[in-house]
Structure 1
Amino acid sequence: MKRWIPFLKSDPTVAVIRLSGMIAASGRAALNDASLAPVIEKAFARGKPKAVILEINSPGGSPVQSSLIGARIRRLSEEKNIPVIAFVEDVAASGGYWLAAAADEIYADDSSVVGSIGVISSSFGAHEFLAKQGIERRVYTAGKSKSMLDPFRPANPEDVARLKELLDDIHVNFKDHITARRKGKLPEDRDLFTGEIWLARKAVDLGLIDGIGHMKPMMQARFGAKVKFNRYGVRKPFLSRFGTQLAGDALHGIEERSAFAQFGL
């Protein structure tokens, strides 16, 4: 009510966007630009916030979606002249760290995991199993690379080399993003782009984050004890609240649990 009374100063507000989970182009629980776009737009537009906070807890995922989300955040921050501050919870790794680097400042808990600035592609090989079962794989293509990395055929060295080239190019994009966003903060005598991970204290020393701290006390210290937190997040579809899409949710949960597990979480 206070903000509607003329000449009466309102309490400062900060907008909080929660970015928790895997980053993927599809999936109801996944982080992607399509589902987050309206959330991010509202966070920057409503109530003239002093800052936009990113609450991040993500082991990564799609490099494209990470780039799209991060670019949207940067674009709105610059258009509206609103600073962005990231707070890492359990992990901001790979694409999760890409999102964190979209912020002007990054803070984390002592035990937060940060880094994994690399690119990975994983698959499986089932050609020996099929052969033992007497199953013949038949694939017909126009274009010699159309069946690249078919998991039901032996690995082709040319396909592997081609995939490695693609991964290297994506890795360059990742490194360029981090180098630009953390300009002047990263050591020149240390390769931080090996896919290695660090706890927060070490990440501070390496310039990957700006300090150790938690959102509420830091924002109160910066904007005053009466600062208000307006939270924004993706709402679940109405029917999902009544137990529909359980199979899809279960599969996504397994995948997400596996992604977090690689960081000991």
Structure 2
Amino acid sequence: MEFLTEYGLFLAKMITFVVAAVIIVSLIVSATHKERGEDEDDGELHIRKLNEKYSNLRETIQARLMSEQERKTWNKAKKKKDKAEKKSAKAKKSDAKDPAESPKRIYVLDFDGDIKASDTDPLRRAISAVLSVAEPGKDEVIIRLESGGGLVHSYGLASAQLDRIRSKGIHLTACVDKVAASGGYMMACVADRIIASPFAVLGSIGVVAQLPNFHRLLKKNNVDFEVLTAGEHKRTMTIFGENTDKGRQKFLEDLDDTHGLFKDYVSERRPELDIAAVANGDIWFGRRALDVKLIDEIKTSDEFLIEACDRGDVISVSFKRKRTLPEKLGLATSTALEHTVWKVLSAFRNQKIQ
């Protein structure tokens, strides 16, 4: 027991030392990175042809279901077919003079939204890249969208990025597998067509604001808090000061105005909607959302993409920013801690209590 105690103390000291060292290095590197400033090109585009991905999945399972002799024969025929297709594609490319003869391209973008719509910057860069090569009236864009909404101005900008695609005359489809609510639906409604899985959450066309108020607590402890403003409506609600009925009324008017803008935005892009019936802040699951015309079709994104592979080249485009050292260290630490916690919880769950 004495040995275990000493070993535990030593281990605790080592962990403390390592954590402290990581924090110090992270702060130094972070400060250096801020001095250099954010590089506009500090990242790269990732491009992947999804036709090959789905084709490989199909061929893999086909090969596993064959006998060894059948597999050999199949592999031989496949190599011969691939060689002929490459030769044919090369010949067509060299002979093609009319851009219309080039294959149809379907570009796939992804957006995974948090409350600040932090994915907007990578999205705008990916959109800029796609718009530089996409052919209006021929090519398409698909966005796989997941978001429960967040800040009005953040999702307003994210939606405006998608509006760039439609304004160029390029067909846009939004695929929702889990949720596109509030700001997420603001983005989805930009699309020419919305496709959602059977139990995806959609709607929540409303505006909400909430904040705590500590005025009574401060007053009870004889603490004064003053807010000095120039302009009648510069600060209508406050966390620490005393809120007035006049201030609340102005705040509610601002919320109603924002809600009105939200409804107008959705109505302009989906005129078939009965906006009065759906813009009450409620949500609908996939099939119910189809009934009220919040979406156009029930289907998962995988199903839709596999079908799209028959129409042309399906290409995933994403912009990945290079992670700084503090971010890499933080991610590694977070992953290690999460792994440890899950192992401990699993161990407790698997124990039999006597």
TM range (shorter): 0.7 to 0.9
Distance 2:143 2:108 in 1: 6
Contact 2:125-2:319 at 8 Å conserved across structures = no
Distance 1:242 1:223, change over 3 A: closer
Distance 1:148 1:234 in 2: 40
Distance 1:139 1:69, change over 3 A: closer
Q: Does 1:134 align with 2:226?
A: no
Distance 1:138 1:217, change over 3 A: closer
The aligned residue for residue 252 of structure 1 is none
Q: Does 1:202 align with 2:202?
A: no
Distance 2:201 2:280 in 1: 15
Contact 1:18-1:233 at 8 Å conserved across structures = no
TM-score (norm 2): 0.60
Once the two structures are TM-superposed, the CA of residue 238 in structure 1 deviates from its matched residue by 3.5
Q: Does 1:217 align with 2:295?
A: no
Residue type at the aligned position of 1:137: F
Distance 1:213 1:239, change over 3 A: same
Give 2:258's match in structure 1, choosing from 164, 167, 170. 170
Distance 2:331 2:217 in 1: 32
Contact 2:176-2:301 at 8 Å conserved across structures = no
Residue type at the aligned position of 2:195: Y
Q: Encode CA deviations 1:130-176: one digit per residue, 9 max, x unaligned.
A: 22333221333333433421111232111111111111111111111
Give 1:53's match in structure 2, choosing from 133, 142, 151. 142
Q: Encode CA deviations 1:28-69: one digit per residue, 9 max, x unaligned.
A: xx133x453212111333465721111111011122232232
**SS of 2:177's equivalent?**
strand
Distance 2:326 2:134 in 1: 30
The aligned residue for residue 315 of structure 2 is 229
The aligned residue for residue 261 of structure 1 is none
1:1-265 mapped onto 2 (5 Å cutoff) = 2=89, 5-7=93-95, 12-24=104-116, 30-32=118-120, 34-46=121-133, 48=135, 50-79=139-168, 81-184=169-272, 186-187=273-274, 191-222=277-308, 224=310, 227-239=313-325, 241-244=327-330
Distance 1:42 1:147 in 2: 41
Contact 2:166-2:191 at 8 Å conserved across structures = no
Distance 1:7 1:240, change over 3 A: farther
Equivalent pairs counted in the alignment come to: 240
Distance 1:53 1:165 in 2: 37
> More helix by proportion, 1 or 2?
2
Percent identity, aligned pairs only? 29
Distance 1:5 1:41 in 2: 26
Distance 1:220 1:245, change over 3 A: closer
Residue type at the aligned position of 1:100: A
Contact 2:174-2:191 at 8 Å conserved across structures = yes
Mean CA deviation greater in 94-103 or 12-21: 12-21
Task: In structure 1, list runs of 5 or more residues that go unmatched.
Answer: 250-265
